[in-house]
Amino acid sequence: FSIHSRGDYSLFRNRFYSAKYGQDDVSSPVNTLPEMRALVVSIWVFINLVFFGMCGYMYLLWSQYWMYMDRQTETTTSTYDQQIYYYNRGYYPNDINNRSESRPRTKHSTSKENSSFTLVKNSKPRFPNLQPKEFELDTKRYICRRNDSSVDCYSKTSEYKDKIIKELRKVFTDESNILKTGSENPYNVRYGGKRGNYLDKTPKDILCELRETPMNMLKRRDVGSHPVREYIPRRGLFENKRFNSCAIVASAGALRHSNLGSLIDSHDLVLRFNHAPTKGFSRDVGKKTTVRVLNSQVVTKNEFKFLKSDLYKNITLIAWDPSNYSTTIADWLDRPEFDLFPNYIEHRKRDPKSRFYLVEPRSIWELWDFLQGQLAEPAEAKSTVFRLPGSVCYSLVMVCLKWCLRHEKPRLILKGLPRLRILLPHCDFVDIFEYVPSTRVTKRCHYYDPEDNPACTFGVWHPLAAEKLLTYHINSAEDEAVFQTGFVRIEGFRNLNCR
């Protein structure tokens, strides 16, 4: 049969469905087509909303990750950042000529080789940091003036103390956020020891625990047949020597215009960091240098002129090179972070009587364990990221972020604690200058460097905030000395009576 018109088609359709469904007036599938279309559109809209919601949520968490990384690594091109850049690549950002000659460094591990090196990431989302900046740098209003009364000075000191401690705790809390819950931490290391709260302990208790934490220099018996063996000094560091007063001079920018040079030089022993100069800065940092603690970059790289500069002559030198948490001395000797051994050997050849020591790499991690043992379990609730534990999206994103953190190189660099631990057995007391920031706190990274970088004060590559909070807790000096003059005082082990 044939259908000649729209009316014939309608009649045919009605008769067909009447015969099929046994009724004249039916709601056929054709009649339900608009409803089906509405359902399909609704499902399509829902799927798109879920998809865009997931994307937005991932963007939010990813933004939080980069905000966290920004707080850890300032992106300004300061000398400090250039040194870190150089440390990772072997050339400075603007040194194009040397890029073809440089090789990425190999990071050794007990599990597998990792030949990756840190890259400058330019794919960060443009997400504003909504956290208010409560702490002021380069402000003079907390400094006590000559015409200030004792009450006014006390008030200024107390107000500044509250602010700086609050800021250090805030930075430390950021280290305990959602990106590092449980056993996660920026060094990809799991701490299995007991945790405690240093605020619940007396300074004496903490110092007794610190005394039990080894800080060893490399000995000949430790290195087997390695070529460096015959150049390691036979005598121990400060063997049979005792000092009444010792000073550790941080390289902080706050030392500039401090007029602390005479006070620093009045100490029996003065320890300085790396290539920090005294010439031209003696009024602020003094002239005396007894010990320099050097990282392997300073010993190795030509621009520091280690074998030529007078900075490293006629003093005691202590060099260290970072290693992985579970590495052995044999692994480290074969694959140091920076190969400092050739220059170490050459320095000892030129001056066989020089006092040049190498830190046993495991000692740095022993101190890290000690530091972890003083800190309460991180409070996960402090995170600024929205938490939806049951969300599939949340779980997937957190897996991604934790993967990113696990693939960050576990480069531990404790700053003040190793130097302090070196001196405490040999000094009646140790004064650390401009380590806990005084009222002269500044964005300036080093007193000899005009570039600004607030990260140097509050911590970037170091667990610095935790170190400073702990150091202030065990300090025996008055707050005026700490926050106005600019030093903390730690009592030595000699007169420490531990149970």
Looking at the predicted structure, is the pLDDT value of residue 13 above 80? no
Of the chain, the percentage scoring pLDDT greater than 70 comes to: 67
Classified as helix, coil or strand, 221 is helix
- The answer, yes or no, to whether residue 409 has pLDDT greater than 50, is no
Region for residue 456 given its phi and psi (left: phi exceeds 0; alpha: psi -120 to 50; beta: otherwise): alpha
| Averaged confidence pLDDT in the chain | 76
465 pLDDT tier (thresholds 50, 70, 90):
confident
* AA letter at 6: R
Are 423 and 246 spatial neighbours (Cβ–Cβ below 8 Å)? Answer: yes
What pLDDT, on a 0 to 100 scale, did the predictor assign at position 463?
75
Residue 57 confidence (pLDDT) above 70: yes
Measured CA to CA, the distance from residue 347 to residue 361 in angstroms comes to 20
Query: What is the strand order of the sheet 269-273 is part of?
Result: 356-358, 316-320, 291-295, 269-273, 243-249, 427-433, 487-491
- 122 to 66, 75, 125, 126, 205: CA distances (angstroms): 11, 10, 9, 11, 46
Among the listed residues 481, 490, 476, 452, the one whose alpha carbon sits nearest the alpha carbon of residue 256:
452
pLDDT tens digits for range 298-340: 999 999 999 999 999 999 999 999 888 888 999 999 999 999 9
Helix runs in 22-74, H state only? 33-72
Q: Which residues contact 483 (CB under 8 A, 6 or more apart)?
A: 142, 157, 160, 161, 164, 436, 438, 439
Residue 43, CA distances (Å) to 30, 48, 327, 393, 485 in order = 20, 9, 55, 19, 69
- Sorted by where each begins, the domain ranges of the chain are 150-491
The answer to whether the beta carbons of residues 255 and 447 sit under 8 Å apart is yes
Task: Return d(Cα 229, Cα 226) in angstroms, integer.
Answer: 6
Q: State the Cα–Cα distance between residues 491 and 430, nearest whole angstrom.
A: 6
At residue 165, φ and ψ (nearest 5 deg) are -65, -40
What does each C-alpha distance from 458 to 206, 250, 346, 382, 453 come to in angstroms?
22, 14, 37, 19, 10
- CA separation for the pair 309, 218 (Å, rounded): 25
3-state secondary structure of 292: strand
Per-residue pLDDT tens over the stretch 180-202: 444 445 555 666 667 788 888 99
Q: At what angle do helices 464-473 and 150-174 cross, to 10 degrees?
A: 140
For the cut 90, the answer to whether the pLDDT of residue 88 exceeds it is no
Residue 145 — pLDDT band, cuts 50, 70, 90? Answer: very high
CA 401 – CA 65 distance, rounded (Å): 7
Domain 150-491 architecture: Alpha-Beta Complex (3.90)
Q: What is the pLDDT of residue 456?
A: 75
Q: CB atoms < 10 A from the CB of 129, how many? A: 11
Contact between 258 and 442 (Cβ < 8 Å)? no
User: How large is the average pLDDT for residues 242-262?
Assistant: 95
Rounded Cα gap, residues 430 and 268, in angstroms? 10
Give the SS3 label for residue 276. coil
Residues 6 or more apart whose Cβ sits within 8 Å of residue 131: 384
| Residue 433 and residue 249 in contact, taking contact as beta carbons nearer than 8 Å | yes
List, in sequence order, every residue forming a beta bridge with 270; answer none if it has no partner.
247
Q: Are 353 and 328 in contact (CB under 8 A)?
A: no
What whole-number percentage of the chain has pLDDT above 90?
46
The tens digit of pLDDT for each residue in 342-374 reads 999 999 999 999 999 999 999 988 998 898 888
**What CA dihedral angle connects 377, 380, 381 and 382, to 10 degrees?**
90
Question: Which amino acid is present at 205?
Answer: D
Listed residue (282, 346, 351, 355) closest to 318, CA to CA: 355
Query: In this predicted structure, what is the pLDDT of residue 17?
Result: 52
